Amino acid sequence: MRRVLTTRLGTIGAAVVVCLLTATAARAQSDITGEWGPLYHEDQPDRVPGLGPADFAGLPITPGARQWALSWNASRLSVQEHQCQVHVLPYILSGPTRLRLDAERDVNTQRIVAFHQYVSLWGQQRTIWVDGRPHPSDLAPHTWMGFSTGRWEGNTLVVRTTHIKQGWIRRNGVPQSDRVTTTERFTRHGDMLTYVIYIQDPDYLAEPIARSRNFARMSGLNEGNWIAATPC
């Protein structure tokens, strides 16, 4: 009887510990949903007017990337087939774009299974899965926003993205290959959302690069038009 009681107490104690750890993890998560507007106090020349040709300062690019960028001509954007080529994930949140984040919940457990992200620039829709699903095979289709999965580290949502189409790291011609992968970190501080992205590209970057951006929570009073400002 004493052994049975001890076993039961041990089981109950383990269950209590698991519940406490789960509750602590849940409390550590942060509500990042809502509408967020960009601030431009970081890298403003690069993000808004854009840097001129052959300005690759601060980028650890490979010789192949440099040759590509030196051969780039801005007039290609006037060609019809390129007019709807959007900023890919590693760059798009550096542009003049607003961000909306919504949570999708399981109808039975009410646990968050995904975050849906709407990027006003080019009207891009993105899903960040947080239900533990794996990334698809290397043969799966690539898209502008890629395939994203997330996990919580304290109050920070850490997102890993693969399967991104070929695009650019800087919009003056510095290329990004379709083998790029990114790790993003979304952290809320009151009415501010801090965003950090780590970009790894085995083809065009000699080493990973990191960028940080900040977004302010929008009040809803001056939202303006959320329709993408592009004929695409």
User: Radius of gyration of the chain from Cα atoms?
Assistant: 21
**% pLDDT > 70, the chain:** 82
Q: List the domain range (segments joined by +) for residue 23.
A: 1-30
CB 113 within 8 A of CB 105: yes
For residue 130, is it left (φ>0), alpha (ψ between -120 and 50) or beta? alpha
Confidence of residue 16 (pLDDT cuts 50, 70, 90): very low
Q: Calculate mean pLDDT across residues 3-30.
A: 51
**Placement of tokens 């003049």 in the chain:** 96
**Placement of tokens 């239900």 in the chain:** 131
Same domain, 177 and 203: yes
Same domain, 174 and 134: yes
Alpha carbon separation from 119 to 32, 67, 191 (Å, rounded): 15, 31, 19
Number of domains making up the chain:
2
Query: What pLDDT sits at residue 151?
Result: 97
Residue 157, in any domain of the structure: yes
Residue 232, in any domain of the structure: no
Q: Calculate mean pLDDT across residues 47-74.
A: 91
CATH assignment at residue 155: 2.40.128.20
Name the nearest CA neighbour of 116 among 124, 127, 105, 108. Answer: 127
Alpha carbon separation from 54 to 31, 66, 206 (Å, rounded): 41, 8, 18
Same domain, 9 and 70: no
Global pTM reads 0.84
Same domain, 85 and 19: no
Residue 21, in any domain of the structure: yes
Residue 228, in any domain of the structure: no
